[in-house]
Each structure stands twice: as C-alpha cells, then as structure tokens.
Structure 1
Amino acid sequence: MTGYFIFRGMAPFGSSTILTVDLGQQYVDFFSYYRSTILSHPSTFFYSFAKDLGGDTLGIFAYYLMSPLNVIILLFPGKLLSSGILILTLLKYGLSGLSFAWMLMKLKLQTSWRVIAFATSYALMGWMIANQLNVIWLDVLILLPLVIYGLIKLLDTQKPWTFIIWFTVLLIDNYYMAWMVAIFTVLFTIFHLFESNQHLKQSIRSFVRYAVSGLTSVLVAAAFLIPVGFSLSQSKGTYTETAIKWSTEYFPFNMVAKLIPGSFNFDQMPDGQPNIFIGMLLTIAFLLFIFDSRWSRKTRIVAGLISIFFICSFFLQPLDLLWHAGQFPVWYPYRFSFLFSFWMLYLAAKQLNEDFKPSPYGLIIVTVFLVIIYAFLFHYLDKITYINNVELSFSVAISAISLIWMIVPSSRSPLLHELLFMMVVIGESATNAFTSLNNISYVSQSEFGNYTKQLDKTSSKLKSIDSGFYRVGQTFLRTKDDPMQGDYNSGSHFGSTLEPSIPAFMGSIGQLDGDGFVTYTNGTQVTDSLLSMQYFMTSKTVTNLSGKTKTVSSLPEVSNKPDLNRQKEISSDTLTKTYKNKSALSIAFGASKAIKSLVLKTKDPIMYQSELYKVLSGDKSATLLFDVQNFDNVTFVNLPTVTQITGSMLTRKQVLEPAEVKLKFTPKTNDSYYLTLGSALDSDSATFYLNGKELKQYPTYRHTIVINVASQQKDKPITFTIKLAKQSIWLQNVSLYRLNQTYFKQLNQSIKSQDLKITSHSNTKITGNIDIKKKNQVLMTTIPYSKGWHIKIDGKKVKTTKVIKTFMAADITKGHHKVVFYYRSPYLMTGIVISTITIISLAGVVIYKKRK
C-alpha cells in the first residue's frame, strides 16, 4: 500500500493527498480538533463551541477519535495533517494483517508461509479498500482477531481475561463497530460450541460464561459508554427506525459481482452492495468447507446457517437494521460486511490445512456455482457499472488457476505449490486495491494545505486581537467543519452526532441545514447580532498585473454579504479581511419573559427572525423589523410572463434556448435588503447572478434561505438573475425584504444594555456579570439547551429551561448579578462509579482465586 500511495503521489510523497469524500470533508477537521484538544484545551473533550453553536463532544470522540493510534496525528500540524493521516492509514493496514496472522498462528490454523497470504487478503479485503476513507472504522480489523482469539480461549479453557480486555478496548475505541462485533460473537460462539462437540450442559455453561464476560466488558467501559450513550440519545440516536418492514433492498444475486477484483467506485458509496471481496481462491476454499466430510455434519450445517444469515442480512431490511443498531446508514451501506469477510477467511484457513484434499463432489458443486456466477455477470455486465470486461475476465482466469491449484497435489512440487498460492492470493488482493482506489478522485495537497494555512493564519490573528468569548462568521468555506479545523467558535458543523434541534433552528432562520449538518453562511444583521457573530472573515479580491480583479480560488466563496460594509475592518492580509460586528450580543443577555412562551410557527425565515428579536427586546409595537419590497421590473427570457413572481411555475418556451428571470429593483434607502429563495431553487435547478456576477452560494439546503443583495446602495440599481439549469423551475418563496435599520438599532441597543460581561471563559465554564434593568426578565442564552449545562446566579444554582425549542434560559431578578455557567457531561459520574466498582470486584475475584 505504501508503494501504491507513492505511485499516486499522495502526500508526503507528492502533490496529491489521501483525502476524499468524508475523509476530506469531515474527518480531517476532526483530527485537527483532536490535536487542539490534546495539545491546547482538554475541556473540549466534553464540550465545544466549535461544534455548530455549541455541543457535546463526547459523542464525536466516541464515534470518530478514540483510536489510540491517533497520537500519530499530534506530530503533523496544519497543512501536514494530510501526510499524518496517510501514515495512520498505512499503520492500520499493517496492524490489521499482523493481528490476523497472529491469530492464525496462535490457533494453529495456518503455520506456514501461507499466513502472509491470508494476512494480506484480510488487510486488503474489499471492505477495507472501500472504507479506507473511513479511517475511523479501520481499528476494528486490528481488534477483531484479538477478540475472537480471546473468545475461543474463553470457550475452550474458561479463561475470560483475553476476551474481556480486548472487547473492552474495542468498546472504547469505537462503540459502533463493537456493536456489530458483539452480534458476530454470538454467532461465532454458537458455531464453536457445535464444533467442539460439548454436551448440552457444558455448552450452556460456556455460553453463560461468554455472556457474563461480555457484560463485564460493558461494565468496565461504563465510565465512557454511559455518558456517550446519553449524548447519542440526544443526537444520533433520535434517527433510530421504529417501523420494521420485511422487504428486500435489491435483487440478492447482484452481490456476487462484489467477488470480482475492482468491484468498487464512487457510485457504490451512497448506495451499493456489500463489499465482500477476499479473493477467489480463498472464496472457493470457504465454499468447500460446507462440503468437506472432515468436519462434522452439524458443524457444517451451523456454518452454512450462519453464512445464510449474513447473506440475508445484506438484502433484508430488518436484519440490515439489526447490524446497524436500528439506523439505516447514510452512505457506506452494509458496514458490517467486514465480519462476513473475516468469517469466510476463518473457515478458508481451517479448510486449507495440511490435511486438505478437495472432494470431487465439493469441487463439482463449487465449479457449477462459479459458472453460474460468471454467466450471470457476463450477461448483465452492461448494467453493472462498477466492474468491466477486463476485470471479469481476470477473475475467470484466477478462478481457473485456483481450481487447478486445488486439484493438483502439493506433493509433486511443494515449494511451487506454496509460491503459486502466495502469488494468486496476494496478486489478486493487490489488483483489487489498485483498481478500486483508482476509481476515486482525491483532494490535492495545494487545495488542502494552502487553505488550511490561510485559515489558521486568519483565525490566529483574530485571537491575538481579541482573546474573549465570541463567535466568528465567514463568507468562504472549504468544509462545514472549518471551525474545528481553525479552532474557533462559529455556527457550522457536519457530523453524525449533531443534535436535531440545531438544524431545525438554523433552517427556520434561513440557514443551510440537513439531518447531519448546519452551515451558517446566510446570516442577516439580525441573526448575526442574536448569535454573537462578533467577527466575520471574508475572502479578499486581489488585483493581478493586467489590472483585472479576481477572487482567490484557495478561499472558495459560499455567500454574499454586502451588509459587512456597515462593520469596521480590524485586520487584513493578502487573502482575507476580518470585520467586527458592533451589533453582536453576548452569549447571554437579559430578555423579556415572553420568550418562554413564544411558539413560532411561520416558515418564513424573515418573519421568524423579526418576531423572535422583537419578543426578546420586549417590544410590543406593530412596527415591522422587515418590510416587504416590490421589484421595479421583471424580465422573462424564453419563459412565459407572469404577474406574480413567488410560487409561479415556469417552463422554457424553446427547449434548447437559454432561459432566465431578471428581477430588478433600486433601493430607496441605505438599509440592508434581503432576498429569500425556497429549497426548490437549488444549484441543480438554477444558477444565480447579482449585477452580472455569479452569486456564490453553498448548494445544499432543504428550507427557504436568505440572501443579502444590497446594503448602503441607495439609488443604485440591483439586478438579480435566475438562469435555469432545467426545463422548468418553481419560483418558490422568492420575496424581497428591507431591514428597518433605525428600528433594528433601537431593539439591538435595548437588548445589548443587558448583556453579560464575560470575565473568564472556557468551553465548559463561562463567568460574568450582568445588570438586569427591567422587571419580568429572563437570562437568555444562545447556548443550545442541554442537561449538562448548569447556571449559578449569585452563587445559587437556578433551574434552566428550553426556549424556542433550542436555547437555554433561566429566570433572573432585576439588579446586578454574578453569573456562572458550567458544563458537566450527564451521567459521567454514574459511569465512573460503575466502572470503578466493576474493576475493584474483578480484582477481588482474582485475588480470591489466587489465595484459594
């Protein structure tokens, strides 16, 4: 694999990187966050304001970052992080093969040079290659052989410690993969008990001993699992399926294509078949196990039933859900297929022992099966996008060589027999890795390194200017986890542990959101103020030698924000400018008690912002914060003319001719103007232009978004153009609004007069002073509500409540107060107590047995 990465020129060996898809858009930022947590502020292990508006991070560590091998990442700062991830990935490849080889030798399943071939097939199995980019999961291949060795030792010798230790490590390393392994250990225990031919009572005792040992591992890891479990119940766990449907997900026989080398491409990531490739020679050996009379009939029947259970799990929804803990995977389907590959390799290793002599009956059945597979694949090859004729023909040749190898006795030339085995297995595994990984595109080192260097430079300069607590907005973005990469507080995040209340709130105020992400790029002056967006980082236009201007490509723009011309520029460098928002509120402030009973049902983000801000200030007047504006002129090109813009469905008159809608208006004031666009107007349906310049906009959103189109541009014509990308378009929620600047300033000053003056802060504790000048007020925060947050006012703990289904608030009286916010991971102490009692009890048992 090192040779392959050098060949592809991946950093540190060239100008490319190993980063792709989630590894490049998510995990690399989490690794940067891991570095900052370990090296700078350990409190972010529990909570971080770099996760959207603030969120529990135990779940992030549990799901993404608990591998002990991650310490390697500490050696690779900034733009070198991509090189560190490649070294980490290589280490996981190597340790996976080593672990499997060690298990084979300890169990005496294989003792010759064949161990190297088996280890290579295991480390380069189809699942590993397809999920190389999910480097967070790869530890399971290292730990699985150790867990199974411990399980066999437990069942055969009644010694549980090896199993307990390694399964505990797996639970802490990645609870998600541990769940799948736990299900597999049940199946493996049943198989081993039948294979060892124990009588019924002994088998029951062994199974109970296994169950107790597994439970012991869970109790030892409780200090970690219980708080993580609660955290996930508030985020990822809320997406668990409750309705079970007994239906198939695809035609089952399609998965045989996954036995072919190179059977993986980008299209297989979101919705494909299980990755079960291990090489044809070892697949044939696995199939022959079922027909080999050397093994007892009940052993072969149980092995066959377990194999059938695996195969059914690959296409029956309820079984698929079982392996995935009740949730359908978002991309990367059949994540448990590595267990089937392990199962096949384990049985193949048992089959290809020194006594191996294939039965003619078994060979005939397997050969017929292979002929049917290849006939099916050649017939439907044009419908299978992830393999081609060359790869399929290569597989046929490998299968033929494998069958010949099994038929010809090794006694005629033992050395040649072993070398051929090694060449076939290792060669096919390498071919699969090479062809599969060549189907994926990767981020260049310059794209990642230059952006990361600039982001770190800009955020570090801001910290040197202001060391206080604040959030930072930005108009450029490489990933939604930029705040974790640059180590600053913001409002964007992409991760499986995102609390659902945050996307719901962000969508309601016109931001981009989804089930697993939020992106704060479309803020108005109102939301910037409300959410403490005290600073904004923007990309800077530069002038080249010809006198023309261009936006630097290393800082991809994702929003238009002319209202920043109202803010003060505080720093600037070659590529960026940073502005200070004087209207930004503190993280906590005094607000009207009416916020506790406010229920906002409008789906118009502008109206939502207006009503929310007015209620917080206690203003009950009929004055509007935003006024609806009319367009002065609308031009339709190659489209029918309509009198009502919003809600209209337009279809091209001439199918092959360009079509566009031009919306024109001239601001009558210097106030800020905002345009709303419904989710039907996404990047797939249209492109947008503001005064002839393409409007950069993050493409993914499911609610109506808000775009800033003018600020301090009185009497200057504005043209917003919608160019159709399809034949028809729905002008969903296309409306223009003007912010009443004078009224906004009045409301802002009213709320800001009761701001919390922060005296000290960390991610888990904020201290400050506040003067409440009115009666019937609450201490309102823009900290997302969580049972982990607690508030003390003047030294006394007060009850917190959840307002507008999102944020934390508490009652407060008029006057001067000292306020302390502090975060404690829920059920952390409960878990620690359980783990401590379990460990002490285990130590007591060991001491008692030794004395006895």
Structure 2
Amino acid sequence: MRLAKSLTNRDMQITFTFLNTLWKSEKGRMRKEHMNIKKEGKQIRHIGQRFGRKHVIALSFFMPLIVMTGCCIAFGIQPFGDNSLLIIDGLHQYMPFYSVLYDKLKGGESLFYSFRSGLGINFLSLFSYYLSSPLNLLIIFFKKTQLNMAVSMIIVLKIALSGMTAGIYFSSKSKKQGLHVLMISMAYALSSYMVGYCWNVMWLDAIMIFPIVVMGLERLIDKKDGRLYCLALFYALYCNYYIAFMICIFAIIWYIFYSFKSVKQFFFRGISFALYSFLAAGMAAVLLIPAYLGIKQTASGEAMTLPDHSFLTNAADLLNRQFAMGSPISHDNFDGNANLYIGIFTVLAVGLYLLNQQIKISDKIKKILLVGFFYLSFGEMILNFIWHGFHDQYGIPNRFSFLFGFVLLHMLWEVFEHLDGTKGWHVAFACMAGVGLLAYARVKGTQPLEDKVYGVAGMLFILYGMILLLYTLSRKRKVWYKAAFCAVAIIEIATTACMGFNENGQISVSKFFYGTEDMEKAAASLKDGTFYRSELASALMVDENAWYPINSVGLFGSTATDRMVNMMDNLGFYTGCNEYLYKGATPVTNFLLNVKYLYYHQEDSLTTDFKYLKTQGTFDIYENPAKGMSIGYLMNDSIKDWYYDSAYPFRVQNDLGEQAFDVFELFHDIEIDDPATNGCTASKTNDGEYYFEYGDSRPDNMTFTIPITETAENLYLFYDGTQVENAQIMVDGTNVKSGDLDGYMLPIGKVSAGSEVKVTFELKGETEDGYVRLSAADFDQEVFEDFKKTAAEQAFTVTDYSSNSLEGTVDASDNQTLFLSIPYDSGWKVKVDGKEVKTCRIGDAFLGVKVPSGEHTVSLKYTPSGFSIGWKVSLAAAIIFIVLCFVKYRYKADIKKKE
C-alpha cells in the first residue's frame, strides 16, 4: 500500500510537472503568436498610416501624371520635343478650333459666331461640343506657337485628374486605405480607352468627373443628399453633352441595380434622382439648348432612325480586346471594335468576385447582368446606336466602353474589400478560367492578337494567381502579398500605357504648324478694312484655314449643317458627311463666296486664275483678279427657282447665273463617249451616269474617252462614284492628274481642238455593283465677265463688321433678293433701315432677305438659337439649386442643435 501510494504520488508529480511544462510551452507559443499578430497589426496600421485617404488620393493623381510625363519625355511631346499628342481629328479639327478660341479669348470677341471657317459657323454650338472645358482657359497663358504644347499638357492633366477622381470615389467607399485603391485609380486613368482616345480631348472632362457622378448618386441614395451628384453631372453636361449622355444612361442603370433597403426608398430616392438630374441639365441649358438646336441641323442630327437588328462582333473578339496589351484603338472603321483593356487583373477579378461568399449573391447577379449588357451593347447594332446618342460611330467605335471598364474596376475593388473571403481554390479556379478565356479568344476570335500577347497575359494570370495563393496560405505576411499584387498590377498598367502611346504615334508640330507666324504677318498685312475671305490652295490639315486668322470657306466638324454640306456638294466642292472643303472651287464660286486671296505652301500646286501678289515667309500669296466682290449680292427674285439640287455641278452653276443675273451658259457641256470596260460591265442610266456590275479590280476597269472637237479654253471635269478608287486623267497621252479625285470640280486647263482626254477608273470592289458619274464642260470666260459685271453692280457694300455682325448698304433697282454667302441660320436677325425683316433660304442653304427698290442700310446680328431661353433656364436652375443647398444646410444645423 505504501509502495502504491508512493508510485501514485510520483505519477501525479510527474503528470503535474508535464502539464505545467506543457502549459508554459503553450503559453509561450500563444504569447509569441500574439506578439506576431500584434506585430503584423502594427505593420498593417503603419501601412494604413502611410497610405491614408489623402495620400491615396494624392498618389492617384501623381502616379498617372508621372507615367504620362515619362511618355511625353520618351516620345518627344512638347516641351520635351517637337511632337504632340493630338493625332487624327485632334490635328485636323480640334487644334484649329483651339486656335479660334485662343484668338477670341485674347481679342475679347463674341463666342456666338465665327467667320474663320465654313463661310460662317455657330461658334457656340461648336464650343459646346469641342471647347467648353474650363481647363481650356489655360491656353491663354501660352503663345500661339505653343498651343499644341498647351493642349497636350491639358490632356496629361485631365488623365491625371481622372486617376484622382477615381481615387476619391473608391477611397470614399473603402474601409481600409491602401495600394489597391491606387491600383484601381491608375487602371481607370491609363486604360486602353484613355490611351487610344485621349486625342479626343473634349471627352476627357466627362470621363474625369464620372466617378464623382457615381459617388454623388450613391450619396443621394444613402444620405438623401443629391448636391454632389447634381454638380458633377452639371459639369459633365456642360463640358461635353455627348459623353454625358452616355453617363446619364449608365446612371439610370446603376440606380436600378443599386441595393436599396426598401421599395419605399427606391421610389422616393428615384424622385430625388430625377429632380437633381433635371436640375443639372437645367444649369447647363445655356449650352445644351443651343447645342441641341445646332446639332439638329447636321446630317447625323436629321438621321436618327434606329438601324436594323444585327450583330457587329462576337464575344471572342471582344475578349481579345480585353487582352490587347499595348494595342489601343485610336481610329477604326470597324464599328464592332472596342477599347476594353483595363488590366489583365480585372479579368481574374471577375472569377474571384463570383466565388467570394462575403459578397451578396444579389450584387453578383446585378454585376454579371451589367457586364453581359455591355457585351451585348458592344455587338448589337440597335443598342450600340442608342448608346452613341442615336448616331453612327464614324470611325471611333464603342465610345462608351470606359463605363464597362468602371464596372470591372468596381468588381475588383469589392474583391479587395473582401479579400479575406478569397480561398485558395477560388484563386486556382479563377486562373484556370482566365487561361480558358484566353484560349477561347485565340481560337474563336475572327481577329486574334499576336501569340506573344496571349503568352504575356497567361504568365500574368499565373503570377497574379501565385501571389493571391500565397496570400490565402499566409498567416503573417498577407499585407505584403496584397501589396505585391498591387505593385505588379501598377507596373502592368503603366507599362501597357507606355506601349499604347508608342503604338498610337505622335504628330510633328513643326511639320504641320511651321507657317503660323508667317500667316499671322501675312493676314495682318492684307487687312484693308473690308470683309473678304481667303483660303489655302492645299491644306496640310483639313481645318488648317481655321488655324489662321482668316475668314475662310471650308469646314470639317461635327456641327457642319446638312443643308450646307449638300449645297456645297451640288456646287462642285469636295464634301463628306460633316465637311465641305475648298477643293473644287471655280471662278464663279470664288466670286460668289468673296474669296480674295489664296495662300500657297511652297510645295503646293493648284490650277487657278488667281495672280501672284507676294511671298510672306513660307507662303506665296495669290490675289483674285476679279473686282467688285462682296459677301452679298442683290439677285433677281427668280433665284427662288434656282435648280440647285442636281448631281451635275456645271448645271447648278449655270442655273445660278441664269436665275440670279440673267447670265446664260457659264459652262458648256462636252459630250462623252460610253466607257470601255475591263473586269466589269457598265450600262448608261442618265447623262454621264453608268451603272456597273463588278467582276474584279483592275487599273483600267472603266475608261472614258472625251474627244475635244473645239478648243476648250478652260476644261473642267467632275466625277463621282460609289466604288471609284483611283483615277488617271490623260490629255493626248500625258498624265495631268491622278489619284483620288472624285467628288469635286477638277480644272484641267486649256485643251486644243483635236486633242483626246482619257479618264481611267479603278473600282474598289467593295460591293458587286454601283455607279459612276462623269461630266465635262468648258468654262466661258466672256460669259463670266458679264456675270462679274452684273453682280458687282448689285453688290452689298460692307461698312462695318465683327465676328457676329455685319452692316452695309445696297441699292436695289427693283424688288430683289439679297443673297448673302453665309449659311442660313435662324439666329441671324436682319434689319433693313432699322426695321427687322424675315430671312429666307436661298438654295436651301444660304441666307437671304427680300429688299424693296431703293437704297437701304442692312444690318445683321447673330445670337445662337436657344441661347436666350438657355441662359434663363440656367439661371433659374442655379437659383433653385442654391435654395436647395441652403435648405439642406439649415436642416443639418437644426439637427445639430437638437442633438
């Protein structure tokens, strides 16, 4: 018993010692683990302190700014070289329009109207689409020769600000600030959309403010405060109503898909949503109403019929665009293309988003439906047409794709907010799904990318997957793996942006704008107090005439009126859907449109009757020998019967002379034989018009022979067609003109009797059939002398003018119609001897007014249609908004007092 008792005591002692040792060991281990956790917590808090919200927002601005500055240095963008970011229409349209704005701001001119291009344009309408950004005021701090640099810097600034606004939005929603918000902000600012389309500088303000619009909308729903939403949407609408229209559609969808607490909240917040939306539009009405009335007169504004249902592209091709690293779209005539790349990590995030159990199923369903709706919109013709404001895309496809990128980034943000809910198998599945999508896009896409793109994308999927897998397995270094993921993503998006800008290319400023100072001096030296127009023999950029301080004829812009485009087409000028250029002018149209001077670059050549005047730097200046020209002429009232709607410009100009001044046959038609064909068939359908059926493309698909039986002192040709690609014009075997010459009057010059003119066409072969129309005529100089004499005797004598007004005198021998070579616009108010009179259209496009017999003073003043009601609506809306802000302030103050 004593032995047993002794053993029992010993066993108990041993057991107690063992338990005590075990407890101390476990206690030490727990203390050590606690210290590790505490240490990690300190690390996290330290990083949180280092990356507080203010720091994240600041970095969201400065990091894209640094990347863009690096690109500017690398690609020689001014001031680091001689290049500009303004490519494509940025060169051909926007920079010349900036020049007009620059001169108006410097000279204190009215923003209502400008004679700098298009024979006269509603400048406020153009301003509302291209130039209304407040940031454009920065250009006044630069010289005219530095304007390209100024606008390139504005683009860089707007891209950086887009990162900042994205940072403001996502940081306002984040429970923990960190690199993930910076990563998302940079992806928004440097997506393929921004890189590819940044030359559309007027769009960037709306894209920049878009995250704040969403932030304001969510604040309206959650806190019953719509002030931020209203101001942000107003800014978007004011700066660019076109992109703002897309934002409005998205705002409605986002509202519908938002997680409301109750049906009551959905209904009553909906009333506030509508109220503040209309209030924002009301505050921008000073521009929106004139812009709407102006755009309704354009070709796209008059043709808003929904297209037939069809699909532009498929899902595989759209997926390829999400993997298109370094190859953004800057311009593409294929409407199914899209800039969708916003980081390979966003593709991975979709899978992680769907698998994360901490994210509500309802939110997942909504986001997937939204992603699917965007994919459908990119491919389906009707939805695509609606997204683009009921307009065609015209070479810049899927302009609303930045909204899709925002949705993906929002999903990525939610993944990082609930990253602890990500499991290892989630990561593995998402990576496999990403690789599977790569393979599907490569195999099924009709326009696959280079294999190296798929290889890099696949490696990035694996790299991101490994980092996230280590994150799920780690207990001590989660914060570091999260930071590593963000760092790799930031490097990816920055590198891809640089590659994208390299792919875009840049334009040389000195190549296109070298004549700026010379033209300024030349125009100043030719000012004589009278109103006249000047033009360029050949433009380096389409709207080069607007770049210089001269009143001119041509216009390429979205606000070109449809009636004016058709009229200039009928007169024989080169035209497009939103352009009419000086190419195709004749002595008749030069006199009619008051073109006094022609400027030649030293490399230019143009057959004309203008006479050399002098040389100013890099320009040779030629003067119109005709005397008595004016911006307006008294014409016979029979001008109302002018047969202007014809596909044969010789007939149009002949009928003008007859109806206006009783002058007949300015152009004498020349007979043309039926064409010889090769690889196609042709049958005559009208005078000089032939329907053809295409076989195969050959340099001599159609050859017209024009026998010259009598000497033609001034031979002109005109041809147009649906499929004509190349033309060659030969006189007695000598090539006199060749290239793409269709759609405008071609001066050939003197051709002696007995000569033979041959015109050879090559057909494009885009369709199986089409038409070609060719006409020839000899310009009669003697008849033109009668035309000039009669017109000069009845010219409108300008006594005073400004950028939006004209005043002068006329002496009518009878009741006549005053023709003014100004595009018709209801904004023009005309007074005859101080009494306002009605205006009319001449040729459905030019401004006209009835004038009784006798000597009269005629004055014209322009105010854009809709401006009067627009500023009143804006003022009323602004007052209502201020009252609402005051009420909200008092309400909050009362709440605080009660507390």
Q: Please report how far the alpha carbon of residue 18 of structure 1 lies from its aligned counterpart in structure 2 after TM superposition.
A: 2.3
- The worse-fitting range, judged by mean Cα deviation, of 5-14 and 351-360 is 351-360
Cα distance between partner residues in 2 of 1:637 and 1:155: 69
**Matched residue type, 1:27:** Y
Pair 1:10 & 2:70 matched: no
Partner of 1:562: 608
Provide closer, same or farther for how the CA distance between residues 850 and 181 of structure 1 changes in structure 2, counting only shifts above 3 A: closer
Asked whether 1:497 is paired with 2:559, we answer yes
Q: Which residue of 2 aligns with 1:126?
A: 192
Which secondary structure state, in structure 1, belongs to the residue aligned with residue 84 of structure 2? coil
Q: Distance in 2 between matches of 1:355 and 1:681?
A: 58
Equivalent-residue separation in structure 1 for 2:776 and 2:439 (angstroms): 61
Cα offset for 1:144? 1.0
User: Secondary structure, in 3 states, of the residue corresponding to 2:820?
Assistant: strand
Pick from 345, 348, 360: which aligns with 1:281? 345
Correspondence for 1:673: 715
1:626 to 658, 661, 667: 667
| Shift of residue 447, structure 1, vs aligned partner | 1.0
| 1:596 corresponds to which of 617, 640, 653 | 640
Shift of 1:692: 8.5
Is 1:585 matched with 2:629?
Answer: yes
Residue 180 of structure 2: which of 105, 109, 114 is its match? 114
Partner of residue 855, structure 2: 816
Contact 1:126–1:278 (CA under 8 A) maintained in structure 2:
yes
| Contact 1:652/1:727 (8 A) holds in 2 | no
Contact 2:715 2:751 in 1 (8 A): no
Residue 102 of structure 1 is matched in structure 2 by 168
Q: 1:580 to 1:372 in 2, by over 3 A?
A: same
Other-structure match for 1:89? 155
| Equivalent in 785, 801, 823 of residue 784 of structure 1 | 823
For 2:703 and 2:774, locate their aligned partners in 1 and report how far apart those are by CA, in whole Å.
14
Aligned with residue 34 of structure 1, among 91, 95, 101:
101
Q: Note the alpha carbon deviations across 1:39-58, whole angstroms, 9 max, x for none.
A: 12532x22122231222122
Matched, 1:837 2:876: yes
- C-alpha deviation, 1:265, in angstroms: 4.9
Instruction: Give the corresponding residue for 1:545.
Output: none
Report if aligned partners of 1:236, 1:497 keep a CA contact under 8 Å in 2.
no
Shift of 1:744: 1.8
SS at 1:792's partner residue? strand
Aligned to 1:548: none
Output the CA distance in 2 between the equivalents of 1:5 and 1:269: 28
Contact 2:428–2:465 under 8 Å retained in 1:
no
8 A contact 1:637–1:661 mirrored in 2? no
Structure 1 residues 240 and 14: CA distance shift in structure 2, 3 A: same
1:213 has 2:276 as partner: yes
**Structure with greater helix share of residues:** 2
Structure 2: distance between partners of 1:17 and 1:848? 48
Deviates more, 1:437-446 or 1:211-220: 437-446
Residue 802 of structure 2 aligns with which residue? Answer: 762
Q: Letter of the aligned partner of 1:341 in structure 2?
A: G
Q: Determine helix, strand or coil for the equivalent of 1:293.
A: coil
Match of 2:382 in 1: 318
Instruction: Write the deviation string for residues 552-598 of structure 1: whole angstroms up to 9, x where unpaired.
Output: 3xxx55xx32322xx47366555412213424631122110111233
1:449 aligns with 2:493: no
1:24 aligns with 2:94: no
Question: Residue type matched to 1:780 in 2?
Answer: F
Provide the TM-score with structure 1 as the length reference.
Answer: 0.88
CA 1:630–1:639 in 2, change beyond 3 Å: closer, same or farther? farther
Q: Is 1:74 equivalent to 2:140 in the alignment? A: yes
Query: Counterpart in 2 of 1:748?
Result: 788
- Label 1:132 to 1:694 Cα distance change in 2 as closer, same or farther (>3 A): farther
Alignment correspondent of 2:776: 736
> Which amino acid in 2 is paired with 1:53?
L
1:472 to 2:497 alignment: no
Bigger shift: residues 219-228 or 364-373? 364-373
Distance (whole Å) between structure 2 residues aligned to residue 516 and residue 273 of structure 1: 22
Tell me how far apart the structure 2 counterparts of residues 68 and 577 of structure 1 sit (CA, whole Å). 37
**Post-superposition offset of 1:263:** 4.0
Choose 1 or 2 for highest CA Rg: 2
Amino acid in structure 1 at the alignment position of 2:720? G
Q: Which moved more, 1:790-799 or 1:659-668?
A: 659-668
Alpha-carbon distance, 1:815 to partner: 0.7
Shift of residue 753, structure 1, vs aligned partner: 0.8
Alpha-carbon spacing, 1:5–1:769, altered in 2? closer, same or farther (3 Å):
same
Aligned CA distance change for structure 1 residues 819 and 417 (closer, same or farther; 3 Å)? same
Q: Residues 265 and 436 of structure 1 are in contact (CA less than 8 Å); yes or no, is this contact kept in structure 2?
A: no
CA contact (8 A) 2:810 2:856 kept: yes
Q: Which moved more, 1:610-619 or 1:497-506?
A: 610-619
Distance 1:691 1:12, change over 3 A: farther
State percent identity of aligned pairs. Answer: 24
3-state DSSP of counterpart to 1:12: coil
Distance in 1, Cα, partners of 2:654 & 2:717 = 15
CA deviation map 1:325-370 (0-9, x unaligned): 1112111111111011111112211220265331466446534432
Q: Is the 8 A contact 1:759 1:769 kept in 2?
A: yes
Q: Does 1:605 align with 2:645?
A: no
Structure 1 equivalent of residue 319 of structure 2: 256
Q: Which whole-Å CA distance do the structure 1 matches of 2:783 and 2:632 have between them?
A: 22
Tell me the equivalent position of 1:402: 464
Partner of 1:413: 477
Deviations 1:581-625 (A, max 9, x none): 424631122110111233434321111101112211145xxx422
Q: By how many angstroms is 1:647 displaced?
A: 5.6
CA shift in 2, pair 1:756/1:110, >3 Å: farther
Q: What 5-or-longer segments of structure 1 have no aligned partner?
A: 541-551
Q: CA–CA distance in 1 between the matches of 2:532 and 2:783? A: 25
The secondary structure found in structure 1 opposite 2:807 is strand
Structure 1 pair 39–732 and aligned structure 2 pair: CA distance change class (3 A): same
Q: Is the 8 A contact 1:474 1:521 kept in 2?
A: no
Is the Cα contact below 8 Å between 2:306 and 2:385 reproduced in 1?
Answer: no
Q: What is aligned with 2:355?
A: 291
Number of residue equivalences: 815
Q: Distance in 1 between matches of 2:694 and 2:885?
A: 78
Gaps of 5+ in 2: 1-67, 892-899
